[in-house]
Copies of this chain bind each other. A is one copy, B any other.
Amino acid sequence: MIRVALLGASGYVGGELLRILHAHPEMEVRTAFGASGAGKRVGDVHPHLGLAYPDLVHAAWDPALLAGSDLIFAALPHGETQRLADDLLSPGIPIVDLGADFRLDSAADFEAWYGEPHQRPDLLGSFTYGLPEFYRDRIKASKRVAAAGCYPTAANLALKPLIDAGVIETIGIIVDAASGVSGAGRSIKEANLFPEIAEGVAPYAVGHHRHMPEIEQELGMAAGLPVTVSFTPHLVPMNRGELVTMIVEIAAPLAALRTCLAERYVIEPFVHLLPDGVAPATRMVRGSNHAVVNVFADRVPGRAIVVVAIDNLVKGSSGQALQNMNVMLGLPETAGLRQAPLFP
């Protein structure tokens, strides 16, 4: 069995990785670092996982404990992976970072959006951006991957192929999104209390959400020129799930958009164009690594509506991280990720 070390094991993303890895036929979690849960059994921190990990105890961070690990997942708050970089990277163990620290190519962008200078700009180029549907070969050749963020994953799975194919314009892109509350992590603050969220909906980080530059970086790469999008995320009273609705200006007949996505994704195990007219819904992918996408005519001539649904905790973070690691290690890409979605 491949021995896994996990940093950030106490949060929702860390817990989800533990859940998913439990089903992986060739990986086994040996070390789980979790600041808030150090010294506690997994079941005390994640009550649903007590049965899956009866003996695993969360450890306080200690780089010596990485010895003997075959791979590392880092699910830390932004900024942390930078600070631990020497310890994490020096052993040369394959690592997937689930945080934002090494997703942007530009240290200046990082500082502009995260409000603090990047601690290790020297390392930015050494991480491969972890969206396997687009960078499979590079990921395979990498020992360091920065798994794509949740909103960028959802948006770019739809938009990158359309831009690549030239069937939509690169200007005028509107990205409107909705996420379940687990997307905010397990951070203990008033805004995340049940009564603040249940029975309501609201936008947040309006005009300045940190996933914007990540979306734009990838779209810009597809377009070969800078792309700027309007991005407005909303918080929805549900645990998990992410829906992204995009309005785009088309540069080809609507059918060409469908054809583009159909051809692009027919061989992908986790991305699926729905039948014509069927609206993506988060309930279609809950608990799974799947993404569903569809394209609709807008009434306004020259525009289309593109919709993608993922589970923010799976394809939006933990599942994607594992998918990346499978690619890095040469395992079947779907290993540990074959669970059907859960509904209702």
Please tell me if A195 contacts chain B, counting CB pairs below 8 Å. yes
Asked if A208 is an interface residue, CB under 8 A from chain B, the answer is: yes
A50 located at the interface, meaning its Cβ lies under 8 Å from any Cβ of chain B in the complex: yes
A296–B280 Cα gap in the complex (Å)?
28
Number of A positions contacting B (CB below 8 A): 86
Closest approach, in angstroms, between the C-beta of A207 and any C-beta of chain B? Answer: 5
Residue from B202, B303, B338 in contact with A230 in the complex, judged by beta carbons closer than 8 Å: B303
Please tell me if the beta carbons of B236 and A305 are within 8 angstroms of each other in the complex: no
Partner of A305, one of B12, B186, B230, B299: B230
* B239, A340: Cβ atoms closer than 8 Å: no
CB pair A343–B307 under 8 Å, yes or no, is no
Surface stretch bound by B, among A15-23, A58-66, A67-75, A127-135: A15-23
Return the contact of A201 from the options B23, B204, B207, B282 (Cβ within 8 A).
Answer: B282
Is the C-beta of A232 less than 8 angstroms from some C-beta in chain B? Answer: yes
Question: Mask for A90-133, Cβ within 8 A of B = 1, else 0?
Answer: 00000000000000000000000000000000000000000000
Given that A283-B202, A340-B51 are known contacts, is A297 also in contact with B238, CB under 8 Å in the complex? no
Given A47-B283, A174-B247, A287-B342, check contact A199 B238 (CB 8 Å). Answer: yes
> A245 contacts the other chain (Cβ, under 8 Å)?
yes
Q: By the criterion CB–CB under 8 Å, are A48 and B285 in contact? A: yes
A296-B247 CB under 8 A given contacts A19-B342, A342-B48: no
CA distance A115 to B50 in the complex (A): 31
Q: Which residues of B contact A198 (CB under 8 A)?
A: 181, 194, 198-199, 237-239, 344
Complex CA gap A204/B243 in Å reads 12
Q: A46, A49, A197 — which one has the most chain B CB atoms within 10 A of its CB? A: A197
A160 interface residue, CB < 8 Å from B?
no
What is the CA–CA distance of A247 and B247 in the complex, to the nearest angstrom?
10
Q: Mark A220-252, 1 if CB is under 8 A from B, else 0.
A: 000000001111101011111101010100000
Let me know if A1 is at the binding interface, CB within 8 A: no
What's the Cα separation between A280 and B182 when bound, in Å? Answer: 21
Partner of A188, one of B19, B193, B232, B243: B193
Per the bound structure, the CA–CA distance linking A212 and B300 in Å amounts to 11
A-B contact pairs, 10 of them (CB 8 A): A22-B340, A47-B281, A47-B343, A48-B342, A176-B245, A186-B195, A199-B238, A207-B298, A230-B247, A239-B344
